[in-house]
Structure 1
Amino acid sequence: MERTHTCGELTLDHVNETVTLCGWVNKRRNFGALVFIDLRDREGITQCVFDEKISEQIVSVRNEYVLQVTGKVVERQDKNPKMKTGDIEISVSDVKIINSAETTPLIIANQTDALEDTRLKYRYLDLRRECLQNNLKLRHQVTMCARNYLSDLGFLEIETPILCKSTPEGARDYLVPSRISKGSFYALPQSPQIYKQLLMIAGMDKYFQIARCFRDEDLRSDRQPEFDQIDIEMSFANEDDIFSVVEGLMRKIFKDTKGIELDEFKRIPYDECMSRFGSDKPDLRFEMEIVNITDIFKNTEFTIFQNILNDKGMINCIVARNAADKFSRKDCDHLTEFVKVYGAKALSFLKYTNQSWSGSIHKVLNDHEKELLKETLQIEENDIVFIVADKPKISLTSLGALRVKLGKELKLIDESKYCFLWVTDFPMFEYDETENRYVAAHHPFTSPKAEDVDKLISDPAHCYSRAYDLVLNGYELLSGSIRIHDQNLQEKVFEAIGLTQEQAEEKFGFFLEAFKYGTPPHGGVGIGLERLVMILAGTENIRDVVAFPKTASASDLMSEAPSGVDENQLKELGLMIQKNDGK
C-alpha cells in the first residue's frame, strides 16, 4: 500500500481507519512487550504502537531509520496536547524498513548542541529539524504570496540573464571565464538592474522576478554571497505609486503568514533620519533618539569640546532613562571601546542621581551648562547621558550604534512589533577617499531630485536623489529609486562621478544605446527575500532561512566548495593559476 497520509494530519476524525504512513524514526521507546515509535515527516510526528508480534520486526530499528507503517488509527488514552496528532496513535499491523541509518553526527531536534560548522557540513541532516523546515515553508509562503499579489496587479514575471556583462555596481563581481572567447569573462549579476530598466524600455510596463543575485563582499549574519530579491519595476510611476505597491505587498505577506495587520509606514528623509537615529536603517521599536546639544556648549570652557567645535565638529547625546544604576565606571569604559570602533575618540557620560550630577565630565561643566542639559533633555532621577563630541558623521554613527546596543542590553525593544520606515531623499553621491572622487551613493542610474540637477557638477556634496530604502526593525529590507530616463541627464551623472564618455560607452554602451529609442519614466525596488523571511521567522541569522548557505568565508562546508579544478578545464578556458610566489 502507498502512503495514505502524512505524519501531521491524522485526528480523531480518522479513528478506526486503516492508514499507511512513511517517515523517519524520531524517537523509539521500549515498554516491555510494546514498542512506541514517533514517526516523523515534513508535516509532523505520529506515535506508532508495535505489539509483541510486530515489534520483533523492528529490533534493529533506531533513530533516523526510514519506515513504512500500516495500521489502524486509535484514540490515545494519554493524549499529548503539544502534538498536532496528540489525540491519536497508530496500532501497527505491518511495517517495512525502507532504509537503515547510521548514528547521526548531530541531534535531529529543534534544540541541538551541534556547532554551526557541523550543522553546515551535514546540512541535509540539519534541515530535518522542524524549526528549519518551518523556515523554508515560510519562505515558500512569502514567495508565493508575492507572485500572486503582483500578478493580480498586472505585473509579469520575467527572467533576466545570469551570465551577463561586468558593470560597476558597488560590490565585487563573481566572474565566469568564457571557453569560447578566451580571456573574456561573464559576470554573475549583482542585481538585474540594467535588464529590468531595459524591460521598461521594451514596453513591459510592470515587471517582477524572484531574482538570484551574487555579490563578492564581506559577509555577516544578515548577508550571503548569493541571495534572492523580489525585484519590481514599473513604468510611468512616481515614488507614491511604488510605495503603494510595496506597502500592499507587505500587508498581504504579514497578514497571510503571521495574521498581523501592519501599522502606518512612516517616511523620514535621510538627513533627518541620520540626525535622529545616527543610522539610515533605524530600529523604531524603541525611543532613545539622538539629541544635538552643540548649542549648549557654544561658549564652554571645556577645552576638548572647544577644540572639537572650532574644528567644525558637533556634540550629540542619547539618554538612557532610569538606567544610571545599571552602568558602573567599568561598564562605561567598555562602551567607550565600543564607540571607538565607529571612529569616536571618546564617550563622555553624565549620571543624574540624588538630584545631582556625576560622571566623567561633570567637574569640567559649569552649572549653567548642567542646567541647560537637564532642561533640554528633560532629565529625571536615575537617567544617564552618553555624549560623543566629534566630526558630525562620527558623532552620529557612533551614537546610532550605541543606541542599538543599549536598546538590546536594556531590553527596550518590543519584539512583537514590526515598524516599517521609508527613508527617502538619499544623497546622490558619496565621496570615495581612496579614489579622491564622488561616486554614486545608490547606483549611477538613480535620478537626482529635480531641484538639484544644477548641482550635479557644481555642488555634488549637496545633491539629493530620488532614492529610497524600506527599513524594518533595524534592517534594510529594500532599496530602490526612480531611474533616469533622459539620455542627457544620464550623461551628466556619468560626468559627475568621473566617467568619461568613452568609459561610459565601454561599461554601459548597449544600455545607453537603448536610451535613444524612447525611454519611459520608471522606477522600482529590490526586496531582500532572505532578510524579510529572517525577520518573519524571528531569527537574526540569515543562514537559518537558506537551504544550503555559505559560511562567513563564503565556503560550502558540505560540498567543500570552492575547490580546485582539473588542469584540462583550465587549459580549455585559457587560464593559469598564479601561485603565492607569483609564478
Structure 2
Amino acid sequence: MYRTHTCGELGASHIDQQIVLSGWIAKLRDKGFVVWIDLRDRYGITQLVFDEERTPKDLLEQARNLGRETVLQIKGKVIERASKNPNIPTGAIEVLVNELAILNEALLPPFTIEDESDGGEDLRMKYRYLDIRRNPVKNNLIFRHKVTMEIRKYLSDQGFIEVETPYLIKSTPEGARDFLVPSRMNEGQFYALPQSPQTFKQLLMVGGMDKYFQIVKCFRDEDLRADRQPEFTQIDCEMAFVEQEDILNTFEGLTKYLLKETKGVVVGDFPRMTYDEAMKRYGNDKPDIRFGMEFGELNEVSQHRDFNVFNAAELVVGIAVPGAASYTRKEIDKLIDWVKRPQVGAKGMVYVKCNEDGSYKSSVDKFYGQKDLAKWALATGAQKGDLICVLSGERNSTRSQLSALRMEMAERLGLRKPDEFAPLWVIDFPLLELDEETGHYHAMHHPFTSPKPGQLGLLDSDPGAVRANAYDLVLNGNEIGGGSIRIHDKEIQAIMFKHLGFTPEEAKAQFGFLMDAFQYGAPPHGGIAFGLDRLVAILGGQETIRDFIAFPKNNSGRDVMIDAPATIDQGQLKELHLRLDY
C-alpha cells in the first residue's frame, strides 16, 4: 500500500494514528537538529518532521540528503504541530517519520514549483508536466473537470444524449482552414479534422435522436491568439422540433446552472440585444455590459461647424470615460498615441474634459462652443469629471476603434471585474457578409443557418438585409456560444448554396449527403456550440485559455514539450503518396 491517506486530509482527529503517505518533496528545511519536509500531492501538503531526539540517526541523515521533487513514501505517526499553520488544511498536525522509501529521485527542476514561479511561460510549457504540479494550473484543471461534469449532469437531466461523431471527415471550403490527413489506402485523397460536428449533428436530428450533445475536440488551422488554440473543445448541442426561443431558454438555463454550481452566483434573465443594436451601442457584437461607456453618435451635433475632419466622416461617435477629466495633457496624448497604433488604426482623437464647475474644455475649442460641447455630453451621457473621447471616419472601422478604446479604458479603470458576470444574448445577425475584396457574399455563421421567417425572398433583391435565425451567448465581453435554427428543407438549402456561389454540382459534391438526408423527413431543428476552453477560463476569472488546458500549444501552434509539429521520414511520406520536393 503506497498510502493510507492523501497529503491534504490529515487533521487533529488523526493525531496518534500510524499512517502512510506518498508524494513529492515541495520544500526541505534543515535546521541542524531538526529537518522539516513539505510533502505534496494533488490534494495538498503535509509537513513531515525528523529530529535528533525521536528520529534514528541514519534516517535523519537520509532526510537531509533528499532533493526537491523527489518522490517519497513515508510511514509515521501523526502528532500535534507546535507552530500551527492556519493557511493550509493540514496546518494543525505534522507527521513524525519512522520509515522512508525513495520511490524516484528527481533532477533539480528548471523553475520553482510554487504558486508564484520564477519560470517564464515558454519554459513552463516545455516542462508542462512540472507546471501542472503548481496549484494555479492544477486547480484550473480540477475546475475544468467540475464544469464539464456539471454540463453533463444538466444536459442529461434535460434529456440530452451524448453521441460521438467522427474525427476523420471530408474537407469543406467554408470557414477556417482545415487540418488535412492524407489517406494511405486511398492515394491522393485526404481526410480533414472537423472544425465542428455540424453536419453530423444535423444528421442525428434526421435520425430522430431529438436532443444531442457532445463535449468534443475540434480543429482549425488558423492564426492564433491568447484565446485560441489549433485544437479546442466544444460543448456541441442540437435539438429537434424547436424554435429559437426553445434553444435560448434551454441554454440560458445551462449557463445559470453553471454559474450557480461552480461560482455560487445567481443571475436573472439574460438581456437580449440585436446585432445592429450591439454594434451601435458598443461597436462590436460581443459587448461587455459590466460597465457603461456606451457609444453616443454625434453626427447631428458635430457636423455643423467648419471642422472638416468631422464633416467628411461617415460617423462621429464618442464615449464618456468616468472620472478621466483629471487626466493631464501628457496622459491624453499617450491615449491618442494608443488609438493611433496599427492594432487600433485611428487617425487621431478629439477629447472634451467635463469640468466640475459645469464648463467644458476640448481639443477643438476653436470650432465648438460650450453649447455644442454640452450636446456632446448629453449624447454620450457624460457627467462632471468625465472625459469624452471622440473618433470619426468610416462607420464600421470607427466603431471597431472606439470599441477597442472602450475596453482599454475599462481595463485601466478596473471595471472588468473577474468575479462579476454579465451574460446576454445577441440575436438577429446578418445572414450573409460581403467580402470587400471579392465582392461575394459568404455565410456569417455557416451555410446551414436559416434566414429569419419571411426573409427568404430578400436573398435575390437585397441579400445584405437578410437576418439570420441565429444567436450568440456573450459573457463578460466574450462570445462563449453561438448557434442557429438550421435549414431543414432541401430546396431552401439549395437556394442558400446558390447565393454563396456554389454551383449545383459543387453543392452536391460537398454536401450531397446532407441534401439527400433532408429528403427522408428532416425535422425542424437548431442548436448551439459553446467554447468550453473559453467558458471555463471566464468562469475561472481569466480570459486566456492556455492555463485551463492540460497540454496547450504556444502562439505559433507548436507543442514545445514534445516538439510538434515535426518532420516525418521518407518512408512514411512514400506510404502516404506525398512528396516534399516542390
TM-score bucket of the superposed structures, by smaller chain: over 0.9
Q: Is the 8 A contact 2:7 2:46 kept in 1?
A: yes
Within-5 A mapping of 1:104-119: 104-119=109-124
Residue 330 of structure 2 corresponds to residue 325 of structure 1: no
CA shift at 1:297, angstroms? 2.7
Q: Is the 8 A contact 2:482 2:529 kept in 1?
A: yes
Residue 185 (structure 1) aligned to one of 181, 190, 215: 190
Moved more, 105-114 or 296-305: 296-305
CA shift at 1:339, angstroms? 5.2
Amino acid across the alignment from 2:533? E
Partner residue in 2 for 1:279: 284
Residue 507 of structure 2 corresponds to residue 504 of structure 1: yes
Distance 2:522 2:77 in 1: 67
Q: Is the 8 A contact 1:339 1:398 kept in 2?
A: no
Cα 1:383–1:59 shift into 2, 3 Å: closer
After superposition, give the CA deviation of every residue in 1:338-364 in whole Å (9 maximum; x if it has no partner).
Answer: 255344333211223354333322212
Residue 522 (structure 2) aligned to one of 516, 519, 522: 519
Moved more, 254-263 or 568-577: 254-263
Amino acid across the alignment from 2:44? G
Q: Is the 8 A contact 2:30 2:64 kept in 1?
A: no
Distance 1:519 1:191 in 2: 20
Residue 356 of structure 2 corresponds to residue 351 of structure 1: no
Partner residue in 2 for 1:217: 222
Residue 553 of structure 2 corresponds to residue 550 of structure 1: yes
Residue 558 of structure 2 corresponds to residue 563 of structure 1: no
SS of structure 1 residue aligned to 2:87: coil
After superposition, give the CA deviation of every residue in 1:248-299 in whole Å (9 maximum; x if it has no partner).
Answer: 2222222222222223311111100111111111111111100111111343
After superposition, give the CA deviation of every residue in 1:1-47 in whole Å (9 maximum; x if it has no partner).
Answer: 43111101111111111110100000011122321111000010000
SS of structure 1 residue aligned to 2:278: helix
Distance 1:112 1:499 in 2: 54
Partner residue in 2 for 1:538: 541
Q: Is the 8 A contact 1:342 1:394 kept in 2?
A: no
Partner residue in 1 for 2:428: 425
Distance 1:252 1:122 in 2: 36
Partner residue in 2 for 1:372: 375
Partner residue in 1 for 2:128: 123
Partner residue in 2 for 1:28: 28
After superposition, give the CA deviation of every residue in 1:83-107 in whole Å (9 maximum; x if it has no partner).
Answer: 0111111111111111111111011
Partner residue in 2 for 1:386: 389
SS of structure 1 residue aligned to 2:205: helix
Residue 13 of structure 2 corresponds to residue 18 of structure 1: no
CA shift at 1:327, angstroms? 4.7
SS of structure 2 residue aligned to 1:19: strand
SS of structure 2 residue aligned to 1:451: coil
CA shift at 1:369, angstroms? 2.2
Residue 436 of structure 2 corresponds to residue 437 of structure 1: no
Residue 166 of structure 2 corresponds to residue 161 of structure 1: yes
Quote the sequence identity (%).
47
Return 5+ residue gaps in structure 2 as ranges.
none
Moved more, 325-334 or 213-222: 325-334
After superposition, give the CA deviation of every residue in 1:367-419 in whole Å (9 maximum; x if it has no partner).
Answer: 54224224444544332111112121112111111100000112223332100
Amino acid across the alignment from 2:68? N
Cα 1:86–1:367 shift into 2, 3 Å: closer
Distance 1:365 1:567 in 2: 72
Q: Is the 8 A contact 1:318 1:403 kept in 2?
A: yes
Q: Is the 8 A contact 2:418 2:542 kept in 1?
A: no
Distance 1:402 1:14 in 2: 57
Partner residue in 1 for 2:267: 262
Amino acid across the alignment from 2:315? M
After superposition, give the CA deviation of every residue in 1:459-488 in whole Å (9 maximum; x if it has no partner).
Answer: 111110011111111111011111111111
Distance 1:337 1:260 in 2: 36
Distance 2:202 2:416 in 1: 39
Distance 1:410 1:418 in 2: 17
SS of structure 2 residue aligned to 1:505: helix
SS of structure 1 residue aligned to 2:454: helix
Cα 1:301–1:368 shift into 2, 3 Å: farther
Distance 1:379 1:533 in 2: 35
SS of structure 2 residue aligned to 1:13: helix
Distance 1:245 1:416 in 2: 24
Q: Is the 8 A contact 1:68 1:96 kept in 2?
A: yes
Residue 296 of structure 2 corresponds to residue 295 of structure 1: no
Within-5 A mapping of 1:400-411: 400-411=403-414
Residue 491 (structure 1) aligned to one of 494, 498, 510: 494
Amino acid across the alignment from 1:452? Q
Q: How many residues align?
A: 575
Moved more, 372-381 or 53-62: 372-381
Cα 1:472–1:46 shift into 2, 3 Å: same
- TM-score, length-normalised on structure 2? 0.96
SS of structure 2 residue aligned to 1:173: coil
Residue 461 (structure 1) aligned to one of 460, 464, 471: 464
Q: Is the 8 A contact 1:350 1:362 kept in 2?
A: no
Residue 256 (structure 2) aligned to one of 244, 251, 258: 251
Cα 1:371–1:537 shift into 2, 3 Å: closer
Distance 1:374 1:255 in 2: 39
Partner residue in 2 for 1:577: 580
Distance 1:408 1:362 in 2: 29
Cα 1:378–1:515 shift into 2, 3 Å: closer
SS of structure 1 residue aligned to 2:67: coil
Distance 1:2 1:494 in 2: 62
CA shift at 1:166, angstroms? 0.4
Give the root-mean-square deviation of aligned CA atoms: 1.6
Distance 1:177 1:170 in 2: 20
Partner residue in 2 for 1:361: 364
CA shift at 1:236, angstroms? 0.7
Q: Is the 8 A contact 1:352 1:380 kept in 2?
A: yes
SS of structure 2 residue aligned to 1:396: helix
Distance 1:382 1:427 in 2: 39
Q: Is the 8 A contact 2:171 2:192 kept in 1?
A: yes
After superposition, give the CA deviation of every residue in 1:473-521 in whole Å (9 maximum; x if it has no partner).
Answer: 1111011111111111111111111111111111111111111111111
Q: Is the 8 A contact 2:305 2:367 kept in 1?
A: no
